[in-house]
Amino acid sequence: MAELQRCVLASGNAGKLRELGNALVDLQIELIPQSDFNTVEADETGLTFIENALIKARNASSASGLPALADDSGLTVDALNGKPGIYSARFAATSAGGKPTDSDNISHLLQLMESVPQPERTARFVCALVWIAHPDDPEPVIATGSWSGAIATDIAGAGGFGYDPVFQVPGLNKTAAQLSADEKRALGHRGQAVTRLLDQLKSRPR
């Protein structure tokens, strides 16, 4: 059996670590959270999901000395000119300057969308994954996924996280928060990006 290749995940999110780690098992890649290296989180100064994922990957690789994988994801809403976009996790500003909760962000989104008619409530979840072999890697592996849907008028479902309870899935009369983990993996933006990333990594020299 081939020796496991250790790789740092530019996140401390347990859900992402589990989901992405399971996907990389067949490639003999072991994902380790950046928190194991006391990594200071990167300043996400990019203007796109790909730019921010690359910033996070280079930061984690530099701190750990390992190859790095980073994920930057979010929701884009057509009626809001693509917002919240790269600011999805901090869409609802707080007076104390702290990070808003998922509930805060959803409430803010629904308030902004209150007068938008159903045909104009189209939206997409977007995921960008970046893999680099070392901090200065000039040839990062980049994979993206996009999941089209619409913004519901009410919250439904207790699964998932983020904006899942208000993201209507086309043809299923469900929100993303009402899907099983397998359904979400098969349909979702992150599942698409992971599949494309794996295809590229399989042909990349180790």
Looking at 3.30.56.10, 3.90.950.10, 3.40.640.10, 3.40.50.150, the CATH number of the domain 5-202 comes to 3.90.950.10
Residue 58 to residues 55, 79, 87, 135, 195, Cα–Cα distance (Å) = 5, 34, 20, 5, 22
102 is catalytic: no
* pLDDT above 70: residue 1: no
Spot the catalytic one: 36, 43, 72, 136.
Answer: 72
Tell me the C-alpha distance between 137 and 109, whole Å: 37
Tell whether omega for the bond before 84 is within 30 degrees of 0, i.e. cis. yes
Tens digits of residue pLDDT in 101-127: 999 999 999 999 999 999 999 999 999
Cα 168 from chain centroid?
A: 18
Cα-only R_g, the chain: 17
What pTM does this model have? 0.89
Tell me the C-alpha distance between 172 and 133, whole Å: 40
pLDDT band at 205 (very low <50, low <70, confident <90, very high): low
Specify the pLDDT at position 23.
Answer: 81
